[in-house]
């Protein structure tokens, strides 16, 4: 595993749409491992491949100690409700903003072994899934946020 450089918002790579992963290989698994390590080192709860300069449709999310979600070629298949809350992003360091998201999502994709998986999330997990999914389409939370401001120490909830 290796730490990867997290791109920041001025990098044009973050504005591009990612391509699907055509085959889940050892290289893809290695990238997922690097992404998880990089996310943990940066104290984030999610990291999408474009944030480390790889335009492939995959991301990692971990909102608690119990489960690391790794999704390849994810697709949000259901969403419901509304939540309005603060978000940050490892690619927009030091800032947060208020974003509307669905309160509940169901998402499917492939796991690290290329097997189909499906997850449901509410609250923070749903927010993280949607935030990372947006990255795959070249969308930063700042394009959806209100009241973007510098985060006071300890206030940031980075994704």
Residues with a catalytic annotation lie at: 132
Of the candidates 72, 74, 76, the residue with the CA atom closest to the CA atom of residue 29: 72
DSSP the chain: ----PPP-TT-GGGGSPPBPPSS--HHHHHHHHHHHHHHHHTT-SEEEGGGGT--BSEEEE-SSTT--EEEEEEEEEEEES-EEEEEEETTEEEEEEEEEE-SEEEEEEE-TTS-EEEEEEETHHHHHHHHHHHHHTT--GGGT-EEEEEPPTTT--B-
**130 vs 3: CA distance, rounded Å:** 24
């Amino acid at each position: 595993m290796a730490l990867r450089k997290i791109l920041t918002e001025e990098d044009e790579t973050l504005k591009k749409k990612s391509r699907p992963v055509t085959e889940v290989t050892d290289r893809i698994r290695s990238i997922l491992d690097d992404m998880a390590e990089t996310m943990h080192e940066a104290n984030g709860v999610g990291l999408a491949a474009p944030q480390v300069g790889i335009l492939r449709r995959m991301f990692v999310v971990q909102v608690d100690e119990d489960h690391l979600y790794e999704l390849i070629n994810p697709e949000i298949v259901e969403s419901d409700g509304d939540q309005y809350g603060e978000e940050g992003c490892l690619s927009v360091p030091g800032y947060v903003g208020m974003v509307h998201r669905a309160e509940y999502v169901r998402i499917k994709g492939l796991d690290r072994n290329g097997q189909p998986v499906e997850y449901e999330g509410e609250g923070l997990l749903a927010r993280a899934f949607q935030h990372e999914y947006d990255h795959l389409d070249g969308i930063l939370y700042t394009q959806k946020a209100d009241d973007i401001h510098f985060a006071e120490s300890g206030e940031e909830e980075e994704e």
